[in-house]
Amino acid sequence: MASVLGSISINPFSDTTSPVKAAETVVVRKGILESSISVADLRELAETGKVPARLQAYANLLSDEQRSKIFRALQAKIPLNVVGLSNLLNTGIGTAILTDLTTVIPRRDGGGVEALRSALLLGANAPEGLSVLSFIESYPSSRVVVDLDRAFTVLGNMNASFWQTQRFMEAIAPQLAPVKPAFNLPFDPTQPGPNSVQVRALDLNDSARNRPIPVDVYWSEAATADKPTIVFSHGLGSVRTDLRYLAEHLASHGYVVAALEHPGSNETNTNAAMAGKCPLLAPQEFLDRPKDISFVLDELTKLNQTDDNLQGKIAIDRWIIIGYSFGGATALSLAGAELQLSGLKQRCQGDLIGFSLGEGIQCAAVGLPEERYQLRDARIKMAIAMNPITSLLFGETGLSAIEVPTLIVASSADKTTPALAEQIAGFPKIPSPKWLVGFVGGTHLSVKDPSTTLHQVRRQSTVITGDEVVGDQAVSIRNYIKAVSLATVAQLTAEADKYAVFLTPEYAQFASTSAIPVRLVTEISPEIHTVVQTFIQGNK
């Protein structure tokens, strides 16, 4: 929930005192029926997994699926930073979501939003972390009224784009039947090149914008200006080593790769935001990120003239941008996609509880004063956008303004940037040449360097987070990313034909595993396009 709130402004956290009388009873309404349940009985259910005798008659009114949802909800425990949660709940978007939740837990006195905010903060401060029970026991009333039908509706609508993607994948399943092509490959593009990779750390500073920008430059002695130079843009709350394995792979094949850190949306900024020291995501960041890239291009162009190691190795007129998640949107902006915010500003005003985290991130752009922004850097000659956010930022036609060859990566089980809304629906708008890669069963973090996903082990699964396919489970995904990225960037070299086979649907099939099938298309077929439009129209 915290990420959905995509903070626009942060209010200071003030201590919240315990309610005079914590809730001891939950009044559950289902249709015309109403029943009182003691919190003690709910705790017994959560701890033992068995329905207490006093609840058995009521449990019989629910389906097996509904009983299972309630049990999982009672068991879920979410560790949250209380200061950060307070800051996020005090944003405009946070208040809008709390208002939506008041329809689940109605109050006659009109104090639902403040009661919810208080219970969430006090519940998060409990030793077990935030849970349904810690929330209820912190609610400022002797009883909590829950509209169960509305609760199931809200639960079913949470992260609506993700569930929409899952239904879409089921609908097109017949077109995803595996076919293992029989052909001989000239070489294995997943293997490292013959060159030893070196890393140069740079501490750059854009004094005009007061932006310190650290950069890691990956290179080898084989690098020449005959090959394009590649720059990486990371995701929200992340670091410049997001895609280190890919930077090392490309550098071993003779490319110079620069991975930078965006100071307004990196891990350091997020940690500071959680401590109440700054916004999680200021609207200006949507403009500053592309400017960060252009600034780094300027600085590396200078180093190409003066640096002992990099001199003459940087292609100052041919750059490729590779972005991940929020960085994927940054990459598309630099490739020419126009920010079109009028629709976003309308969409982000209400019914936010069904948003994905990616949609919440985009809503932070509501604070930008203009309706349109063109952030293209003409030095960018190609873009690779992995799991990008696009659904709200670029409006109806913004993606059609892209001016360079573009490769989009999508993962079918991505809860953060659901594939159908964020990547598939917008793909037909992108001018050719273009490619869409899909990992069936891949998740949002699958493409990341394993060193940055260790925290996902045994992480609590929720409607909007968890269940990530990472580490050893995602080896085939990272290998394909290495191959398809190498083949894509090679299209701007004299070796384009040599690598073209790795940009085909047949190679994607060849690289598939039983656990993670891979698909690559250059256009969405009429049959699938019809299904896409059916799902998209049904979500409006």
Pull the structure tokens for residue 182.
């029989």
The whole-angstrom separation of Cα 285 and Cα 292 is 10
User: Which regions of 44-140 does DSSP assign to beta strands (E)?
Assistant: 77-78, 130-131
Looking at residue 128, its pLDDT comes to 78
Buried b (16+ CB within 10 A) or exposed e, 6-18: bbbebeebeebee
Looking at residue 404, its pLDDT comes to 98
Looking at residue 93, its pLDDT comes to 66
Looking at residue 239, its pLDDT comes to 95
| CA-to-CA separations, 521 to 159, 238, 284, 407, 437, in angstroms, rounded | 26, 29, 35, 10, 7
Looking at residue 20, its pLDDT comes to 46
371 touches 341 (CB < 8 A): yes
Number of other CB atoms surrounding residue 170 within 10 Å: 9
Q: What's the burial of 49, exposed, middle or buried (CB within 10 Å: 0-12/13-18/19+)? A: exposed
The H or E element spanning position 319 is: strand 319-324
Q: Which residue has the tokens 């080593």?
A: 241
User: Which regions of 152-210 does DSSP assign to beta strands (E)?
Assistant: 198-206
Residue 61 backbone class (left: φ over 0; alpha: ψ -120 to 50; beta: rest) = alpha
Looking at residue 3, its pLDDT comes to 33
Q: What's the burial of 481, exposed, middle or buried (CB within 10 Å: 0-12/13-18/19+)? A: buried
* pLDDT tens per residue across span 498-537: 999 999 999 999 999 999 999 999 998 888 888 888 777 7
Pull the structure tokens for residue 499.
């690598």
Looking at residue 10, its pLDDT comes to 28
The whole-angstrom separation of Cα 288 and Cα 278 is 16
Which of 513, 511, 509 has the alpha carbon at shortest distance from 521? 509
Q: What one-character DSSP code corresponds to residue 422?
A: I
Residues of the chain where predicted confidence (pLDDT) is lower than 70: 1-22, 79-80, 84, 91-93, 156, 350-351, 457-461, 463, 538-540
Which residues share a beta bridge with 229?
319
Q: 319-324 and 380-386: which strand pairing?
A: parallel
Q: Which residue has the tokens 């902006």?
A: 333
The whole-angstrom separation of Cα 449 and Cα 186 is 27
The whole-angstrom separation of Cα 470 and Cα 411 is 12
Q: Which residue has the tokens 């925290």?
A: 455
Looking at residue 12, its pLDDT comes to 27
* pLDDT tens per residue across span 139-191: 888 888 888 777 777 776 777 888 788 888 888 777 777 777 777 899 999 99
What domains does the chain contain, in order, with CATH numbers?
3-157 (no CATH), 176-481+508-538 (3.40.50.1820)
The H or E element spanning position 537 is: helix 526-538
Which residues share a beta bridge with 29?
34, 147
Buried b (16+ CB within 10 A) or exposed e, 239-255: bbbbbbbbbbbbbbbbb
